[in-house]
């Protein structure tokens, strides 16, 4: 996945073009500024995780929070960089790499985290287009997709730097045009999200497509005899049990972009509402959701329920990204029964970056026309792209200074950079799109994926235990 860049002599001579950050520097592949030190972050991690709803931390943007937003955003970006989009591959819709080599293969080094579990999802016919499928008959699965991963901080130095042991859950976002066509079809459904106590207000409503993707199981799929929520909940419960008495404080951080943001909020509600994060009456593990470009998930009742549970949600929104404002601009949604955002909003604006070409952008009206159409427009993705979000977080409040995050990363999956940056569009891909050359046969061919990187379905005992555990969960479609 190497990118051939122009020589230094061919690049414009400007302080805005510092030397590119070497791979692996400062703990990740793209960050040139030092991460917060032990004494800094370890002492303030609760505030950075939203204990005070980020009061006084957004304007100006707190440096610790900036670094953590980028760090968690990079964890979310992993779900795009490692996903197999190739419809000609028999593993289309899966993760290209095994859990133990995931970060290494996307050049995310020295994270201090260990990936412990993969999440798979299926859905019903209503949102079937959300599932990316291969055209081959020998497919690994025609009913399931890889939907994210669970990881935990295991490096002692990183635990000390963070001030706690962090359990991370990443939900993958949308990746195809068809996904958008389905996701943008709005329908709120009633959702039982109560703990059995007497609540005077009406039943919460959430987005039907999100709830289906989150809770659907399929007996015909060896990967989804359990639902995505059962995959994630099972591992959260296991990790809490393993680490609750190891002497470190615990946190649960959930992050996702676009669709992944919505799934993350549903999951956070599920965990907190079912009290899975409550170790005892005196000890409750804090839950934080970092949302990037996420759509509204539910109505006003759902919003209040999530906030009452103490879940902290920071929503990063690009001003020109249409997705976060979906359905919230209609008159009907002013009423309690319509879509409402929750948590705290942090707004960035891609017009503030001089690295981005606004001629490649589009108006909101053009975007809305796209939303109900069938064709992909790159301008829409430019505003919504996760790497663009991370670029804007890095520059927020300091756009007059050289970026500390490599601007080349913006064009990983889009083409928003100015042509004067000399970076090709959508440059992140396997070499030769995965094809290899055989000298003996004088032919190119698609090699078999290494056995260690094959998707692995859960064992039957895990399926049984997950189903038993799901009976204690409280998030359900009220009419199911």
Look up tokens 């790499």; give the residue.
Answer: 97
Q: Is the pLDDT of residue 28 over 60?
A: no
Q: Is the pLDDT of residue 336 over 70?
A: no
What is the structure's pLDDT at 35?
A: 58
Q: Is the pLDDT of residue 197 over 80?
A: no
What is the structure's pLDDT at 175?
A: 52
What is the structure's pLDDT at 381?
A: 80
Q: Catalytic residue numbers? A: 258, 321, 384
What is the structure's pLDDT at 397?
A: 94
Name, in order, each residue with C-beta under 8 angstroms of 132's C-beta and a sequence gap of 6 or more. Answer: 85, 87, 92, 93, 145, 175, 176, 179
What is the structure's pLDDT at 340?
A: 87
Q: What angle do CA 252, 29, 172 make, to 5 degrees?
A: 45
Look up tokens 């000399």; give the residue.
Answer: 422
What is the structure's pLDDT at 322?
A: 83
Q: Is the pLDDT of residue 371 over 70?
A: no
Contact 263, 149 (CB under 8 A): no
Q: Is the pLDDT of residue 464 over 60?
A: yes
Q: Is the pLDDT of residue 369 over 50?
A: no
Q: Is the pLDDT of residue 349 over 50?
A: yes
| Dist. CA 167–CA 159, nearest whole Å | 11
Mean pLDDT for the stretch of residues 161-188: 75
The helix/strand/coil state of 51 is coil
Name the pLDDT band for 480 (thresholds 50, 70, 90). Answer: low
Mean pLDDT, rounded, of the chain = 84
pLDDT tens readout for residues 118-154: 999 998 776 677 778 888 889 999 889 999 999 999 9
Total H helices, total E strands in the chain? 13, 14
What is the structure's pLDDT at 75?
A: 99
Q: Is the pLDDT of residue 27 over 60?
A: no
Mean pLDDT for the stretch of residues 358-365: 64
Sign of CA dihedral 368, 369, 374, 379: negative
Q: What angle do CA 478, 312, 253 make, to 5 degrees?
A: 95
Mean pLDDT for the stretch of residues 370-383: 54
Q: Which of 474, 477, 469 is nearest to 194 (CA)?
A: 474
What is the structure's pLDDT at 328?
A: 58
The helix/strand/coil state of 95 is strand
| Dist. CA 157–CA 160, nearest whole Å | 5
What is the structure's pLDDT at 11?
A: 39
- CATH architecture designation of domain 8-477: 3-Layer(aba) Sandwich (3.40)
């Amino acid at each position: 996945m190497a990118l051939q860049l122009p020589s230094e002599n061919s690049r414009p001579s400007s302080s805005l073009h510092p030397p590119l950050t070497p791979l692996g520097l400062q703990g990740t592949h793209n960050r040139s500024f030092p991460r917060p030190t032990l004494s800094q972050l370890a002492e303030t991690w609760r505030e950075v995780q939203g204990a005070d709803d980020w009061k006084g931390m957004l304007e100006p943007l707190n440096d610790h929070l900036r670094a953590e937003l980028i760090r968690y955003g990079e964890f979310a970006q992993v779900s795009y960089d490692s996903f197999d989009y190739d419809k000609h591959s028999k593993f289309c819709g899966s993760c290209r790499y095994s859990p133990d080599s995931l970060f290494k293969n996307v050049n995310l080094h020295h994270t201090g985290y260990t990936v412990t579990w993969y999440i798979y999802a299926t859905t019903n016919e209503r949102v079937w287009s959300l599932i990316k499928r291969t055209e081959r008959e020998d497919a690994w699965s025609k009913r399931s997709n890889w939907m994210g991963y669970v990881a935990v901080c295991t490096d002692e130095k990183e635990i000390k730097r963070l001030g706690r042991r962090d359990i991370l859950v990443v939900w993958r976002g949308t990746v195809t045009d068809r996904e958008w066509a389905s996701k943008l079809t709005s329908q709120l459904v009633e959702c039982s999200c109560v703990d059995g106590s007497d609540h005077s207000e009406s039943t919460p409503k959430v987005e039907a497509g999100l709830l289906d993707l989150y809770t659907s199981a399929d007996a015909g799929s060896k990967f989804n005899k359990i639902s995505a929520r059962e995959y994630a909940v099972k591992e959260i419960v296991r990790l809490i049990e393993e680490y609750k008495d190891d002497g470190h404080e615990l946190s649960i951080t959930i992050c996702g972009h676009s669709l992944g943001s919505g799934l993350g909020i549903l999951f956070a509600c599920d965990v907190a509402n079912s009290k899975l994060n409550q170790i005892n009456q005196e000890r409750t593990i804090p839950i934080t959701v970092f949302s990037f470009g996420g759509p509204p998930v539910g109505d006003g009742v759902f919003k209040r329920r999530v906030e009452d549970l103490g879940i902290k949600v920071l929503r990063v929104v690009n001003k020109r990204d249409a997705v976060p404002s979906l359905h919230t601009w209609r008159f009907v949604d002013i009423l309690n029964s319509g879509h409402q955002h929750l948590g705290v909003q942090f707004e960035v604006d891609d017009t503030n970056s001089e690295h981005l070409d606004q001629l490649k952008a589009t108006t909101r009206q053009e975007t809305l026309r796209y939303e109900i159409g069938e064709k992909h427009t790159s301008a829409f993705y430019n505003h919504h792209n996760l790497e663009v979000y991370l670029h804007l977080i890095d520059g927020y409040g300091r756009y007059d200074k050289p970026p500390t995050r490599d601007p080349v990363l913006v064009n990983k999956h889009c083409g928003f950079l100015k042509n004067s940056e000399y970076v090709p569009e959508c440059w992140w891909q396997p070499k030769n799109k995965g094809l290899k050359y055989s000298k003996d046969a004088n032919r190119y061919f698609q090699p078999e994926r290494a056995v260690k990187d094959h998707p692995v379905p859960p064992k039957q005992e895990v399926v049984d235990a997950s189903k038993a555990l799901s009976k204690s969960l409280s998030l359900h479609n009220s009419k199911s």
